[in-house]
Amino acid sequence: MGKYILALDQGTTSSRAILFDSEQNILAIRQHELTQHYPHEGWVEQDPMEIWSTQYAAMLEVLAAADVSPSDVAGIGITNQRETTILWDKNTGRPIHNAIVWQCRRTADIVDRLVQDGLSGHIRRTTGLVPDAYFSGTKIKWLLDHVEGAREKAERGEILFGTVDSWLVWKLTGGKVHITDATNAARTMIFDIHRLDWDDTLLEALDIPRAMLPRVCSSSEVYGSVSLPGGNIPIAGIAGDQQAALFGQTCFAAGDAKNTYGTGCFLLMNTGTTACESKNGLLTTIGIQISGETQYALEGSVFVGGAVIQWLRDEMRFFSESRDAEYYAGKVKDTGGVYLVPAFTGLGAPHWDMYARGCLIGLTRGTTREHIIRAAQESIAYQVNDLLTAMKRDTGTALSSLSVDGGASRDSFLMQFQSDISDCTIRRPVIRETTALGACYLAGLATGVWHSREELKQLWRCDTLYAPSMDENKRRKLLSGWDKAVGRSLDWVEH
């Protein structure tokens, strides 16, 4: 049996491959940036062939860099940007259109029609989601409606749908395997998370032929294999990026929670085998399906997390390196009353307002670049705190600690402010690559590298703890200002 595990981490902005050994040491990482296409305002697309080629290249490069033969790799775990929707021709293997990315808002009108048709309650009860353009279902309908001949071919079973994991598995296995795992299926808005099957009512409402859908598997099993010069490697683990991070943070018990600070922010709490229905705008989703058991999670999504720092860097030209944000934020003692609500593509949980837009408020003649940068940093923590507050209302318990990961978790200013504003201990692990690590764990469990989740729990190591130190009155005042600023951004676009 191989002694290494290869994690393929296909994210929104890049395709990465990471090679781990059985002690969780990272032997090599390779990464390729991914081109984003914005054909119209609010539309976001990617080229599926570029997703595939960058991911395949990263995989080969990581093996070459570590000088490891495929025959020494026990398995491949895949984790991916979720909801992003790809349709391809089963016979030619070519995509019929660019992938529609999770951030894309083009299907807002289809969502409005589902709501008008009285399907909100059914969507909530069945899929655990709220009707929103974020999810895959309406994206599939849009592609079938707008690509000539697509619907007829789909009905004949000649067009296949997949989220990014399905597309990668199909390509890696040479078109032999068309599957997804339960965590990715749960993000499509057409999957019944209780019956664990595609939902006929929603397929009919969106006019989606069942023949085009992948078979839904567990998150940890051997699905097929990749043939490479030097040997075959089994593909043995799949989870959407946020569920993979939850697993990689060893949040195996009900009540365990993690937050990932990436392009967006994603807070997930394991609720065990109970699907907890949220009354506060959170999503109920499948946390992981493993060893015949389905664990559920409550999830809150912030659409614009680290992306607000990229915006300051690329569009506002406030600094040239994202990491400089921490330096500038620390140069002022507060934001001078400035709040930035980064609702660039609407607001996610707990507001779910597709028509909200960003606002910068509280400006005076004394406002400096540093105040705005600090307000941007703080906006990430405020949005995460809104999710924590909603989770507390749903579960009746406040989190005492939160495990964190993702690029912006390196930012000590942000982590301390998060701890202060949420009155909660923040635990940052030694291995920040928790999304890839979760995929690695899933593949390792399926191939016998590890034998239990208890064994994995022993391997988790804490790097830094951030403890809250903010005065309660100050916290209340800051949060009150944030709530007021969010109120100004809601329902901005005429519709």
Using alpha carbons, select from 217, 197, 188, 216 the residue that is nearest to residue 123: 188
**3-state SS string over 273-315?**
CCCCCCCCCCEEEEEEEECCEEEEEEEEEECCCCHHHHHHHHC
Annotation-wise, does 305 bind a ligand?
no
Residue 330 CB coordination number (10 Å): 14
Annotation-wise, does 14 bind a ligand?
yes
* Rounded (10°) CA dihedral 165, 169, 172, 174: -140
Fill in the amino acid letter for 472: E
**Exposed e or buried b for every residue in 193-230, given b needs 16+ CB within 10 A?**
beeeebbeebbebbebbeebbbebbbbbbebbbbebee
Bridge partners (DSSP) of residue 162 are 86
With contact defined as beta carbons under 8 Å apart, do 8 and 439 qualify? yes
C-alpha angle 440-443-444 in degrees, rounded to nearest 5: 80
Annotation-wise, does 263 bind a ligand?
yes
3-state secondary structure of 425: strand
Annotation-wise, does 407 bind a ligand?
yes
With contact defined as beta carbons under 8 Å apart, do 77 and 439 qualify? yes
Annotation-wise, does 242 bind a ligand?
yes
Bridge partners (DSSP) of residue 161 are 87
Q: How far apart are CA 188 and CA 184, in angstroms?
A: 7
Annotation-wise, does 138 bind a ligand?
no
Concatenated DSSP letters for 62-106? Answer: HHHHHT--GGGEEEEEEEE-SS-BEEEETTT--BSSPEEPTT--T
Annotation-wise, does 82 bind a ligand?
yes
Annotation-wise, does 13 bind a ligand?
yes
Asked, as a colleague might, if the bond just before 350 is cis with ω within 30 of 0, I would say yes
Bridge partners (DSSP) of residue 85 are 100
Annotation-wise, does 16 bind a ligand?
yes
Annotation-wise, does 328 bind a ligand?
no
Using alpha carbons, select from 160, 381, 175 the residue that is nearest to residue 259: 381
Q: Which residues contact 45 (CB under 8 A, 6 or more apart)?
A: 36, 37, 38, 39, 98, 99, 100, 101, 104
C-alpha angle 71-72-75 in degrees, rounded to nearest 5: 85
Annotation-wise, does 444 bind a ligand?
no
Binding region = 12-14, 16, 82-83, 134, 241-242, 263, 306, 310, 407
Binding region for ATP = 12-14, 263, 306, 310, 407
Binding region for ADP = 12, 16, 263, 306, 407
Binding region for glycerol = 82-83, 134, 241-242
